[in-house]
Amino acid sequence: MTRTLSHSTIALLLVMCLPSVPSAGRFAAASSEGADTVVEIAALRAEYKVNPLGIDAREPRLSWQIRASGRGVMQSAYHIRVAHNERDLHDSRNLVWDSGRISSDESAHCPYKGPALQSGQRYYWQVRVWDGNGAVSDWSDTAYWEMGLLNAADWRASWIEPDLSEDPKKSNAAPMLRREFQINGVVERARAYVTSHGLYEVHLNGQRVGDQLFTPGWTSYKKRLQYQTYDVTNLIKSGANAVGVTVGDGWYRGFSGFGGQRNFYGEHAALLLQIKVTYKGGREEFVGTDAKWKAATGPILTSEIYHGETYDARREDAQWCTPQGGGTSGWHPVQLQGSSSASIAVTAHFAPLVRRAEELVPVSHREISPAFSSTTSARTWWAGPG
């Protein structure tokens, strides 16, 4: 007699045949390593990133990977240490935090549990682990994370708006904002913290800062803005310096949705920027957006997320973001923005960054005479040549 298996029986058999899947941060196999198994620690990350700059998680989640010469190696414990510099870390002295031996097979999202972290401070860390037989690994290579600006008081800059004649009902030329400043001393490190109403691109002494696109990213701008942190140590020089920022309409005030809707979050482009310079010896200096900035327009006549960009190369000025540029002609004052942004949370960037994946170079080009112009009748245009 032939019997037909019920749906529930088939489902049970399928489940029994499926391989077990380990949860994130755990090892599925039982410990079977031999005495000569070598365990190494690699791929250290803080908040999912390798040596991140400008994070604002007050208890960063630390993760690592285990590489072993044997099979079925299982972590049974870990030990993390954190210091302000690499020498103290390796000597295990003046540690910011020493977790001690923690019995756990977790190797992802292990939170920092030391004293409160400080804005702008870099922290170096290492980890070692024990395997299932109780053998301990060497300390991992050194990694680090660097804190961003954790408190509103850490911003020594003001929101500024370009004082330019604009029509909020249509696309406007992208504002260009600039400021010159002096550096007097040997720079140990320099950081730039930047966000905007609109999309920004920063240049320092004629060089583009970073390779990210569409910054600061799309958020609910009336509630939260992201800022990005850049290492600009190698772009700062002794003597005269100049910083320039172009701000496009973006999602903030550009066309979005249906029906030609504009200015969903606001009508005016604005910028918030702060450069912190640390000199050798520890002296600090800040350059931020203030009333000393100037504004003008340049080659970007319109810049829309969905409608594209209009660019007039005849208006280019390669010196506009250098100490030699920015003459008095065409440059206007800026306005300090009111308190409307005081209630908006400014947070560190945490999402994956947008970068150029590929740039296509044309293999050839040819100029085609326009088939239709303002002086050509529609009838002639539709009839075509001949």
Per-residue model confidence as pLDDT tens for the chain (386 residues)? 444 444 444 333 333 333 333 333 333 333 444 456 778 899 999 999 999 999 999 999 999 999 888 888 899 999 999 999 999 999 999 999 999 999 999 999 999 999 999 999 999 999 999 998 888 999 999 999 999 999 999 999 999 999 999 998 899 999 999 999 999 999 999 999 999 999 999 999 999 999 999 999 999 999 999 999 999 999 999 999 999 999 999 999 999 876 778 999 999 999 999 999 999 999 999 999 999 999 999 999 999 998 899 999 999 999 999 998 876 678 999 999 865 566 789 999 988 889 999 999 999 988 877 654 444 443 333 333 33
What are the domain boundaries of the chain? 21-146, 155-348
pLDDT reported for residue 120: 95
What does each C-alpha distance from 348 to 26, 37, 252 come to in angstroms?
29, 41, 18
SS3 for 297? strand
- Residue 142: what residue type? T
Fold of 21-146: Immunoglobulin-like (2.60.40)
| Cis peptide upstream of residue 216 (ω within 30 degrees of 0) | yes
Fold of 155-348: Jelly Rolls (2.60.120)
SS3 for 161? strand
- Residue 284: what residue type? E
Helices then strands (H, E): number in the chain? 4, 22
Pairing mode, if any, of strands 143-146 and 39-46? unpaired
Q: From the centroid of its chain, how far is CA 127?
A: 26
pLDDT reported for residue 339: 53
Name the pTM for this structure. Answer: 0.83
Pairing mode, if any, of strands 224-231 and 187-197? antiparallel
- The distance between the two most distant Cα atoms of the chain, rounded to a whole number of Å, is 99
